[in-house]
Amino acid sequence: MATASTTDAPVLFETHPDQYKHLRLEFAGPVARILIDIQEDEGLRPGYALKLNSYDLGVDIELADAVQRMRFEHPEVGAVLITSGQEGVFSSGANIFMLGVSSHAFKVNFCKFTNETRLAIEDATENSGQTYIAGCNGVASGGGYELPEACEEIYLVDDRRSAVSLPEIPYLGVLPGTGGLTRLVDKRKVRRDLADIFVTLAEGVKGKRAAEWKLVDGVFPTSKFEESVNARVAEVAGEGHPDRKGVKLEPLHPSEEEDGLQYQHVRVEMNPAERTATITLTVPNELPEIPGQASDLGCTWFPLQAFRELDDALLRLRFNYPQLGLILLQTRGSAQTMLQLDQQLAARQDDWFVAEVTHFLKRTLKRVDMTSRSFFAIVDEGSCFAGTLYELALASDRIFMLEEDGVTIQLSPMNGGLLPMGNGLTRLQTRFYGDEAHVAEVLTHMEPLDSDEAEALGLITIAADEIDWEDEVRLAIEERASFSPDSLTGMEASIRFAGPETMETKIFGRLTAWQNWIFQRPNAVGPKGALSLYGRPESPEFDWNRT
């Protein structure tokens, strides 16, 4: 298999509760509990100890898996309590020594993955009827408070010791990297002057003041904390969803080959010499009709299986192959099969499993949007960029289409609003921002569109005939590979999200720009920077010029 561009072992993103080292799951009818009990000596990589319930990427991989399994395997759950299995500490956040020994790219991708998991928690609360509640039975610091921020409600023990805090600025010279500041003022609506004090106060805020400042939703004394929080979780859960039959998520088991990865429906081919990777998603010729109880289809149902494979491939490329800067997206198989599936998906949104799969498709497409790689969609012979799979083309930075009989793209009802971006708009609305009349016109064209028709509607970037095709695509690839990766990351993050700001776009925009920048500045990571000297007796030496 192509070698990952790192001296460390490649990161794998599949796990299972039986393999968890740091989290414990408990279920009692409509209530589930995630207990954070992080093992100090079980870090993802050597060189640091995960003390005080601090976490690294390995912990977040478990959390992402737990949230996903909660939605598919335990849909009966109505409320999820996240609390600590350790005395006196909820979580002290991301392990600082882990950050200190990690590459810049790893730090930024770690923050991005962590926040995508936080957003999945919020999405589950909003769309799956699984309300997340944080029971902070000890200190919640940094990322250890950002996790509760992603929950719908936060409760803090009032024991005169436990506080919530975001101490990155006074301690590390960086920012809360997983949306902490944005959620503070946008979601929890903390007053800006109080937020200013809070995030510069290393020791944080305790007890009743934390509730008064809206940092938590309530405080309970130690003697009543567990009983009170459990009562609130039970109240929120109600009867849960006893009519839902869960679906077990089986391992993906991709095969590692000399030049890439082969899943059931997705293939990844890597070309280190050109700094590109090609992802090909293939649609079967036939798919089963959705039965009366859609969950009977199980986890191997094509849309769930294929997009789980795509999601895993994207994460592997992010973390293990940072030098592959351009991803070429291809589709193969039956467009008619894909369109029939889309019709069923759109018609059966009242079924919890169909809706849950649709939300997963949405989250995976958002993962494409937020991946700091260039994406080119290649529409050529055998392509089936139809409906949901055309969303992959819309998520790409450019769409190249071969002018040839039989090469078409096609829309479906899934392109009309069921798969929104982080800005709250569809990809068509974002592509034609400010021209709703044209979006409406485009959505009347549900027939196959050849290159001339697609170009006239603005649904592709470049059309080329057979004579020019290879040169057109090759030159575009070579040009893209010659540009500065840093400038491309900034450009793509700036122009992919036309339209209104949302909490989600703010978080990722600031993470991409400010956190990316701050993590490279001497004030944080230089020899005398705050992050470099963390845990040592020396004080950081700052460049006092404001930029």
The 3-state secondary structure of 204-236 reads CEEHHHHHHCCCCCEEEEHHHHHHHHHHHHHHH
From the list 142, 119, 113, 114, the residue with the least C-alpha distance to 132 is 119
Residue 528 lies in a domain: no
Same domain assignment for residues 264 and 221? no
Q: Which of 452, 473, 492 is the last residue of a domain?
A: 492
**Please, are residues 151 and 212 in contact by the beta-carbon 8 Å criterion?**
no
From the list 103, 85, 104, the residue with the least C-alpha distance to 47 is 103
Same domain assignment for residues 226 and 289? no
Residue 157 lies in a domain: yes
Same domain assignment for residues 291 and 148? no
Residue 440 lies in a domain: yes
Total-model pTM: 0.95
Alpha-carbon gap, residue 438 to 447, rounded angstroms? 17
The CATH number of residue 360's host domain is 3.90.226.10
Domain of 197, in residue numbers = 18-237
Same domain assignment for residues 205 and 262? no
From the list 26, 61, 24, 58, the residue with the least C-alpha distance to 41 is 58
Beta partners for residue 375, in sequence order: 327
Phi first, then psi, for residue 277 (nearest 5°) are -135, 145
Residue 543 lies in a domain: no
How does DSSP classify residue 511? Answer: I
Q: Which of 178, 211, 237 is the last residue of a domain?
A: 237
Same domain assignment for residues 126 and 82? yes
Same domain assignment for residues 214 and 264? no
The DSSP element (H or E) to which 472 belongs, if any, is helix 466-482
Amino acid at 327: I
Same domain assignment for residues 284 and 206? no
The sign of the CA dihedral 314, 276, 451, 408 is negative
The DSSP element (H or E) to which 283 belongs, if any, is strand 276-283
Same domain assignment for residues 89 and 137? yes
From the list 140, 150, 82, the residue with the least C-alpha distance to 119 is 150
Residue 516 lies in a domain: no
Residue 523 lies in a domain: no
Alpha-carbon gap, residue 294 to 72, rounded angstroms? 12
Same domain assignment for residues 215 and 277? no
Q: Which of 237, 269, 302 is the last residue of a domain?
A: 237
Amino acid at 299: C
CA 24 to chain centre: 22
Residue 508 lies in a domain: no
pLDDT tens for the chain, 547 residues: list them: 555 544 468 999 999 999 999 999 999 999 999 999 999 999 999 999 999 999 999 999 999 999 999 999 999 999 999 999 999 999 999 999 998 888 888 998 999 999 999 999 999 999 999 999 999 999 999 999 999 999 999 999 999 999 999 999 998 888 888 899 999 999 999 999 999 999 999 999 999 999 999 999 999 999 999 999 999 999 999 999 999 999 999 999 999 988 999 999 999 999 999 999 999 999 999 999 999 999 999 999 999 999 999 999 999 999 999 999 999 999 999 999 999 999 999 999 999 999 999 999 999 999 999 999 999 999 999 999 999 999 999 999 999 999 999 999 999 999 999 999 999 999 999 999 999 999 999 999 999 999 999 999 999 999 999 999 999 999 999 999 999 998 998 899 899 999 999 999 999 888 877 777 888 889 988 999 988 888 888 999 998 988 7
| Number of domains making up the chain | 2
Alpha-carbon gap, residue 93 to 173, rounded angstroms? 15
